[in-house]
Amino acid sequence: MLTTIMKWTSLISLTGALFFWRPAGGYAIILQFVICLSAILVSRQAARSGKQLWVIAFAALAILFNPVVTVPVSRSVFLWINMLCFTMFVAAVKFPKTAPKVSIPSMMFPGPPRRSF
């Protein structure tokens, strides 16, 4: 649930950054925190699902938007990175889903109940 909320929060943040970005704006650090945290959560969700390519992609995104050690980029490069991030989060909302957890009774009796003769 938290991962889904963070995915949508990231999409909204990235949309706002695409259209209203100013280099002097004080919201760059907030954007970095939101994107970094969301990328970590999506990477963790992908690891649980066994999707290694998603893990690598979102881990790289978390490193790129790390708020502690910032990567300075120009506005044009930032817009390209922002569009790439937006596309990745849209894909994350659509495609990778975690496998449902198996309950205890279904682990003990994986098939339909059997009748004894």
Which residues constitute the domain of residue 12?
Answer: 2-94
Tell me, yes or no, whether 64 lies in a domain.
yes
What whole-number distance in Å separates Cα of residue 39 and Cα of residue 41?
5
Tell me, yes or no, whether 13 lies in a domain.
yes
22, exposed or middle or buried, with CB in 10 Å at 0-12, 13-18, 19+?
Answer: exposed
Tell me, yes or no, whether 115 lies in a domain.
no
Tell me, yes or no, whether 106 lies in a domain.
no
What whole-number distance in Å separates Cα of residue 66 and Cα of residue 33?
7
Kindly tell me if the per-residue pLDDT of 56 is higher than 90. yes
In this prediction, residue 39 has a pLDDT band, given cuts at 50, 70 and 90, of confident
Tell me, yes or no, whether 34 lies in a domain.
yes
User: What is the per-residue pLDDT for 106?
Assistant: 52
Tell me, yes or no, whether 67 lies in a domain.
yes
Instruction: Say what the pTM is.
Output: 0.69
- 45: tokens are 């969700």
* The total number of structural domains that make up the chain: 1
Tell me, yes or no, whether 110 lies in a domain.
no
SS3 category, 112: coil
